[in-house]
């Protein structure tokens, strides 16, 4: 498992990224199957790693998971320092409205979807994509949790709260029942076109076309009502990981596919709360495989791997030469480490 390295994206990764996104059947709005737009994402990420950033802004940190032996890009994940700002962050907030009429003996509560616009929102995790041949091997945890080690090392770059929009339910044809009912009548485009446009930061059409008035849930089609807050089957493993990390549900959903929005305080995220720091006192030539720990350097040229180590009596650690090479660390440097799974 030490064969895989999590690191920031580089310009030279473009072809590998294109190969990765074309290996999956689905379209992910924030990782498009478009070479020019992928290049734009790489450029934006490179700018985000500017050293003198002390407050969250429009930074978008984009990471890849590289296989050491082949150099192939087999996964990606991302961090948005802050949602909102110049591009508002839109969600539907699920509210409850009480309706009463004593003469008819009516006293009932009805769910209402109210469009919420956030101009200075929390940080967001997203853009997680894993090559089909790597699924079921635990590598999704490296892609997901390594982001939190980066956030814990550089907390000044992020908001105290973190959200994740989980992908909503799609039918066998890849269509969103919620979009067909709520979105298509106003936007007159299919789900993927709207989702892709929004995912690339072009949100003006939402402001111009989205209905301003609240939507009463009982007036929606049964198919649309049924999928509100329902997660896409392929997002269930990611949901489980994030719940183990301390993310909990909210009363907000995605405006396109009605997928749930989950949230956590950055200081309460398990990986950040339980991570430890140690100094490397020595290296050994023996290389042991292991996935019990995720180990990272503490540099903006961030790198993390699954790995093992030996804790010395003085609290320092000994790493393998191979792991040190992958993390770009040496004796005297410090590393962060955390258990891959909750104990």
Q: Which of 60, 101, 131, 232 is catalytic?
A: 232
The per-residue pLDDT of the chain, averaged, comes to 91
- pLDDT higher than threshold 80 for residue 11: yes
Q: Is the pLDDT of residue 75 over 80?
A: yes
| Closest of 154, 146, 143, 157 to residue 58, by C-alpha | 157
Q: Which domains does the chain have, with CATH numbers?
A: 4-97+112-271 (3.40.630.30), 273-339 (2.40.40.20)
Stretch 26-36: mean pLDDT, rounded? 81
- pLDDT tens string 212-252: 789 999 999 999 999 999 998 888 989 999 999 999 999 99
- Bridge-based pairing of strands 248-253 and 215-216 is unpaired
Paired tokens of 185: 């009548």
**The pLDDT of residue 202:** 65
Alpha helix ranges (H) inside the chain: 14-21, 35-48, 139-153, 177-178, 184-187, 191-199, 204-209, 222-226, 236-244, 270-274, 321-327
Q: Which residues of 312-333 are buried (b: 16+ CB within 10 A; e: fewer)?
A: eeeebbebbebbbebbebeeee
Q: Which residue has the higher pLDDT, 155 or 193?
A: 155
List Cα–Cα distances, 305 to 1, 146, 256, in angstroms.
Answer: 8, 8, 35
Residue 199: per-residue pLDDT: 63
Our answer to whether residue 131 is catalytic in this structure is no
pLDDT tens across 191-218, in order? 777 777 666 666 677 777 787 789 999 9
CB atoms within 10 A of CB 29: 18
Rounded to an integer, the average pLDDT of 124-151 is 93
For the chain, give the percent of residues with pLDDT over 90: 70
> What is the mean pLDDT of the segment spanning 172-184?
88
């Amino acid at each position: 498992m030490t064969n895989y390295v999590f690191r920031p994206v580089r310009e030279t990764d473009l072809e590998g990224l294109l190969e990765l996104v074309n290996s999956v059947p689905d379209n992910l709005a924030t990782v498009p199957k478009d070479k020019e737009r992928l290049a734009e994402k790489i450029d934006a990420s490179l700018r985000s790693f500017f050293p003198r950033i002390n407050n969250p802004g429009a930074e978008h940190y984009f990471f890849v998971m590289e296989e050491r032996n082949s150099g192939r890009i087999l996964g990606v994940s991302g961090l948005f320092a802050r949602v909102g700002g110049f591009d508002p962050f839109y969600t539907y907030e699920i509210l409850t409205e009480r309706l009463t009429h004593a003469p008819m003996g009516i006293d009932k509560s009805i769910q209402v979807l109210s469009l919420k616009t956030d101009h200075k929102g929390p940080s967001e995790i997203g853009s997680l994509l894993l090559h089909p041949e790597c699924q079921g091997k635990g590598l999704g945890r490296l892609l997901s949790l390594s982001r939190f080690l980066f956030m814990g090392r550089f907390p000044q770059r992020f908001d105290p709260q973190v959200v994740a929009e989980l992908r909503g339910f799609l039918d066998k044809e890849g269509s969103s029942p919620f979009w067909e009912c709520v979105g298509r009548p106003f936007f007159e485009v299919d789900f993927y076109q709207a989702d892709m446009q929004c995912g690339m930061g072009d949100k003006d059409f939402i402001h111009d076309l989205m209905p301003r008035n609240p939507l009463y849930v009982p007036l929606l089609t049964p198919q649309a009502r049924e999928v509100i807050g329902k997660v896409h089957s392929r997002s269930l493993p990611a949901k489980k990981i994030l719940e183990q990390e301390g993310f909990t549900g909210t009363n907000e959903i995605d405006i396109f596919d009605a997928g749930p929005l989950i949230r956590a305080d950055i200081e309460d995220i398990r990986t950040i709360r339980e991570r430890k720091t140690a100094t490397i006192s020595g290296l050994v030539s023996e290389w042991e495989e292991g996935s019990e720990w995720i180990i990272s350097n503490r540099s903006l040229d961030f790198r993390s791997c699954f790995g093992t180590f030996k804790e010395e009596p003085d609290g320092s650690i000994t790493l393998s030469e191979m792991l040190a090479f992958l993390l770009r660390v040496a004796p005297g440097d410090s590393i962060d480490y955390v258990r891959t799974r909750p104990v």
